[in-house]
Structure 1
Amino acid sequence: MNAQEFSPKVAEQAVHWLIELQGGALDSRQQLAMERWLQASEEHRRAWEHIQRVNQRLRGLSSPLAHAALQAPRSASRRRALKALLLLGVGGACGLALQQHNPLPPLLADYRSPLGQRRQMRLDDGTHLHLNTASAADVRLDREQRLIHLLEGELLLNVADDPRPLRVVTGNGLLQLSSGRFNVRQWADHSQVAVLQGRAMLAGHALEAGQQARFDGPRWGATHAVDANTGAWVDGMLVAAHTRLGDFIDDLARYRRGQLTCDPAVADLLLSGSYPLADSERILDLLEVPLPVRVRRFTRYWVTVEARA
């Protein structure tokens, strides 16, 4: 069994625990049982990591079936529908529902980075492609064009000078990039590009160096200056510059297994600093120094940042 495989039985167990977590707070007996299950084998941890990615993709689907299963009141029928959808995603990334969201399934991508890890590769044209945590991309280089399809997650490109145009496709539009340095991230309902060097074009509209903007269609959304954290992940850092704690925790959660949340009572606290991504537990501990918060660990995989008593 290789590092990306797990048995149908283990997949079903992972689905069970995800549905239990979404159903509300686990009692102490359930917390212990889940922790023991996660620690029992690497296969269990792979299945848990994968089922969370499937769940995130389902939340971006326009399918009425997915919407009904995810938004319906909590009930036995909702649990059965959600379980069926999750197992569809596990059993075949090529399933129809997931294909409607990502025509080229992330599991079959040319390049992938697991949750909590980052990858770097040099393409044949000399472009350097960096993938952030839980990201996937397909690359096509031919005589006429250079095309990168961001299937999920986030990438950073150091684009080599070449007479062929370089285009990046996300679920929200088609970018054309000059030589330079660009960070592109995809969410369920929009994408964002930050131009660190060079110029990005979207349907004839330009975004210049030092600017970033969201897009979902042929026009840019509001344009902003590139923020301090943009691209810092390539160097293994998470940077906060007068950043809301809630937003910082959302970013940090991308690099960890399990549930990491921020209590709304402290979400608007502001944080500044640079933090190494290699040790997310250390980052959490450091939050208690400048801020009136405490990190409450129910288990290693279920952590909440809340107000200090």
Structure 2
Amino acid sequence: MTETHTAQHDTLRQQAVDWHLRLTSGNADAGVWAEFERWRQQPDHARAYRDVETLWQQLPQPLLADRRRRQAIAARQRRKGLLRRGLNLAAAASLLLAVLAGFYPDYLQHPLADYRTRIGEQTAIKLADGSIAYLNTDTAVDVTIGPNERRVELLHGEAEFEVAHDARPFRVTAGAVTTEALGTRFIVRYDGETGAVTLQQGTVRTSRPAARGAQTDSAVLQPGQQLTFNAETLDAPRAVDLSNADAWRRRRLLMNFVPLKQVVAEINRYRRSQIRLLDPKLGEREVNAAIDIQHIDAWLEALQQTLPIQVIHAGPWVFLRSWAHVSRNQSVR
């Protein structure tokens, strides 16, 4: 199989996985099905979709095969044929899961959340109490509006909350951290381990359970302040530029005097095809960035026109390296 044919096969397989996820999401309407039928009529597409569908149906079988494998070992491997079949199924399922995890991590993460956005998507949700939650890229939330409180659990991602006036407290939890507000606007970001709360209007109190015997760890934020946290601590509130903090609402990313690696990490939240730094020193270089989220490639092109950086496109990936690194390699040859 030539390199070109291999790349075409991988692309077709990725398209088939994407179609299967769309069709089984519960949100596929007649228009989506019609589009799928047109795609399936093209050469090799129907077979690629059948392969993915077969693998998906067999996903539970590796778990069963693994349990049988342990039973077979205890019984001196009396059922070696089943074990081999189970291992083959496990390998096939692992291949499919690797494709899903590599290009579609947002499809696998929190699939039962009340509201979700995919990578690169943004949306606004009006809650039952009149509050509005603006979800940024790759975000999942659960919402409970009860008689005594209004609670949103931010499972992953970033959301801005515009809280409606109501006697019931409005609480947003992210991991072990809870932020409570009445009639205010604030942003919460959480990646599963670390996060941040940024206050735009009003007043909020952010708290987390303390160790046994200690007082609850908490802090009150004023407008224009941000508090970062992890699983163990709440940092002290600090002043931030609010125009940068909520720039994503305007489909912009604004960062001043930050390492290039931080800019790349932020951009990658909005892209399935990730950007990688080939030169670690390059990642430490401080830059100012004003990026249109919908035209990231244009920013990359401008980047290599203004800085000694080379942008390399390799299939779905993009690599950045310094021209100094290129010159050194050429001189060695």
- TM-score, normalisation: structure 1: 0.67
The equivalent of 1:224 in structure 2 is 238
Q: 1:45 to 1:295 in 2, by over 3 A?
A: farther
C-alpha distance in 2 between matches for 1:156 and 1:294: 36
Whether 2:280 is the aligned partner of 1:264: answer yes
1:139 aligns with 2:153: no
1:215 partner letter: F
Q: CA RMSD in A?
A: 3.2
Aligned residues: 238
Alignment-derived partner of residue 6 in structure 2: 33
Deviation sequence 1:173-227 (CA, Å, 0-9, x none): 1111232221111123222111122222123531221111112358521432224
Change (3 A) 1:194 1:85: farther
Deviation, structure 1 residue 84: 5.6
- What is the percent sequence identity of the aligned residues? 29
User: Does the 8 Å CA contact 2:199/2:224 hold for their aligned counterparts?
Assistant: yes
Taking the aligned partners of 2:189 and 2:94, their CA distance within structure 1 comes to 29
CA distance in 2, matches of 1:45, 1:291: 36
Moved over 3 A (4+): 39-49, 83-88, 216-219
Rg larger in 1 or in 2? Answer: 2
**Structure 2 unaligned runs (5+)?**
23-89, 102-108, 208-217, 327-333
**1:277 and 2:293 are equivalent in the alignment:** yes
Distance (whole Å) between structure 2 residues aligned to residue 35 and residue 48 of structure 1: 20
Q: Is the 8 A contact 1:141 1:147 kept in 2?
A: yes
Residue 161 of structure 1 and its aligned partner are, at CA, apart by 1.7
Q: Pick one of 171, 177, 190 that aligns with 2:181.
A: 177
The residue number in structure 2 matching 1:303 is 318
Q: Which of 4, 11, 16 does residue 43 from structure 1 map onto?
A: 16
For residues 113 and 159 of structure 1, what CA distance do their matches in structure 2 show? 20
Tell whether the 8 Å contact from 2:227 to 2:236 is kept in structure 1 after alignment. Answer: yes
- Match of 2:298, SS? helix
Give 3-state SS (helix, strand or coil) of 1:161's partner.
coil
Stretches of structure 1 that go unaligned for 5 or more consecutive residues are 1-27, 50-79, 92-104
Q: Does structure 1 conserve the Cα–Cα contact (< 8 Å) formed by 2:124 and 2:133? A: yes
Greater RCO, 1 or 2 (C-alpha within 8 Å, sep 6+): 1
Distance 1:172 1:191, change over 3 A: farther
Aligned counterparts of 1:48 and 1:107: Cα–Cα separation in 2: 11
